[in-house]
Amino acid sequence: MQYTRMGRTGLKVSRLCLGTMTFGWSADTAMSFRIMDRAFEAGINFLDTADVYSSWIDGNKGGEAESIMGQWMLNKPRHELIIATKVRWDMWPGVTGEGLSRHHIMKAVEDSLRRLQTDYIDLYQTHAPDADTPMDETLRAMDNLVTAGKVRYVGCSNYRAWELMKGLWVSDKYNLARFDCIQPHYSLFNRAEYELELEVACLDQNVGVIPYSPLAAGFATGKYTRQNRTPDSTRATSSLVQRLVNDEKAYSALDVLVEQARVHQVPVSQIALAWQLANPSITSSIIGARTVEQLEEVLGATEVKLSAEEIKRIDEATTGY
C-alpha cells in the first residue's frame, strides 16, 4: 500500500481510505470487523466514518458505524490508525440536533469519542456547510477541540470552492485551525463538480483531497452493462447511477475502462481508482465495501500505473461529466 502526506500537514495516510458507510447497514458487525481486519492487513491505515452512519435504516439512530469501529479498535494499535469522522446532521431530538453551531459540535464530538472509544479524533470534518451558523463560530469550536487535544486536524466535506476559500480566509484572519482537507464527490462520471473550480483551489492552498464515491456508486466497477442495467446493489437507487444507466456515452466510457482493465489484467474498478490517484491533487480515494470480496477487488489499485496515453483516453471518454 502506498502512503502520502495530507495537504500541508504531517499526517501520513494510505492512498486508499476505507469508508464505513456500509457498517451497520449492508455489512453487519461481524462482516465489518472482517473488512477492517483485511484493510488493516493490506496496509490501509486511514478509516473514514460519520456520526450519522447509518441513521437512515429502520431501527438505527445513527452512530452505528462509529460504535462498530470503536469495538474493533480495542484490539488494534490506535497510534497506527488515522480515524476520520464527521459532524453536521441530526443526531438527537431537539432544536440543536443538527448544524455546525458550537453547541452542536461540542456535544457531537463527545458522542463520537465515546462511540469510537478513543480520546482523540485524527481528522474531524464538517459534513456539509451550514448557512445558519457563522463560519467563524464553527471554526472557533474546531480550533478549541484541536487545542484541547480531542481533535488533531480539521477538514470539510461537500463544500464548494468559494466556501472552502471563505473558511481558509476566516482561519487565517483569526488564527484558527483551518480546513486541511476536503471530501468532494468526485469520480470519472462526476468530474465537473470538483474539476471546474475546487481542484485548483485545493492545489493552490495545499488542501488534501479525499474524494468519496470514486467508483460512481458502483457504476465504474463494470457490473453495470448494456445487457444488465439493474444489477443487485444497495447503490442502484443512487441518483448518479439512475442518470447513467440509460446513458450510451457512459457505457462507451465503460468500454474504455474494460479495455484498460484487460491490458493491465486487473478489475475495472482498479482502473477507475488508478485514474483518480494519478491526479496530483488527490490525497486518498475513499473506498467502501459490503464484503471482504468487494474490498479485495480494489486493493491493488495503488499499484496500477496508467500511461499518459491511457489517462488521455479515459479523460476524453468521460469529458462532460
pLDDT bracket for residue 143 (50, 70, 90)? very high
Q: Is 144 contained in some domain?
A: yes
267-298, pLDDT tens digit by residue? Answer: 999 999 999 999 999 999 999 999 999 999 99
Q: Is 315 contained in some domain?
A: no
pLDDT bracket for residue 237 (50, 70, 90)? low
pLDDT bracket for residue 148 (50, 70, 90)? very high
Q: Is 164 contained in some domain?
A: yes
Among candidate residues 53, 159, 212, 224, the one labeled active-site is: 53
Asked if 53 is an active-site residue, the reply is yes
Q: Is the dihedral of CA 238, 235, 99, 19 positive or negative?
A: negative
Q: What per-residue confidence (pLDDT) applies to 93? A: 76
Report whether pLDDT(153) > 70: yes
Q: What per-residue confidence (pLDDT) applies to 159? A: 98
Q: What per-residue confidence (pLDDT) applies to 231? A: 74
pLDDT bracket for residue 235 (50, 70, 90)? low
Q: Is 214 contained in some domain?
A: no
User: What grid cell was written down for 19?
Assistant: 469508508
Segments forming the whole domain that contains residue 62? 3-183
Which CATH number fits the domain that encloses residue 147? 3.20.20.100
Q: Is 25 contained in some domain?
A: yes
Q: Is 292 contained in some domain?
A: no
pLDDT bracket for residue 239 (50, 70, 90)? confident
165-193, pLDDT tens digit by residue? Answer: 999 999 999 999 999 999 999 999 999 99
Report whether pLDDT(233) > 80: no
* Nearest CA-CA partner of 127 in 179, 92, 169: 179
Q: What per-residue confidence (pLDDT) applies to 248? A: 94
Q: Is 278 contained in some domain?
A: no
Task: Give percent above pLDDT 90 in the chain.
Answer: 90
Average pLDDT rounded to a whole number, residues 60-68:
96
Q: What per-residue confidence (pLDDT) applies to 96? A: 67
35-59, pLDDT tens digit by residue? Answer: 999 999 999 999 999 999 999 999 9
Task: Give percent above pLDDT 70 in the chain.
Answer: 98
* Nearest CA-CA partner of 288 in 302, 275, 278, 298: 298
pLDDT bracket for residue 145 (50, 70, 90)? very high
- How far apart CA 303 and CA 312 sit, in angstroms, is 19
88-127, pLDDT tens digit by residue? Answer: 999 987 766 789 999 999 999 999 999 999 999 999 999 9
Q: Is 191 contained in some domain?
A: no
Contacts 24+ apart (CB under 8 A), 35-41: 35/289, 35/291, 35/292, 35/295, 36/69, 36/72, 37/72, 38/292, 38/295, 38/296, 39/295, 40/76, 40/81
Q: What per-residue confidence (pLDDT) applies to 92? A: 84
Q: What per-residue confidence (pLDDT) applies to 104? A: 96
| C-alpha torsion angle, residues 135, 145, 212, 171 (rounded to 10) | 40
User: What grid cell was written down for 312?
Assistant: 488521455
What's the structural domain count of the chain?
1
75-90, pLDDT tens digit by residue? Answer: 999 999 999 999 999 9
Contacts 24+ apart (CB under 8 A), 77-80: 78/118, 80/45
Q: What per-residue confidence (pLDDT) applies to 303? A: 97
Average pLDDT, the chain: 95
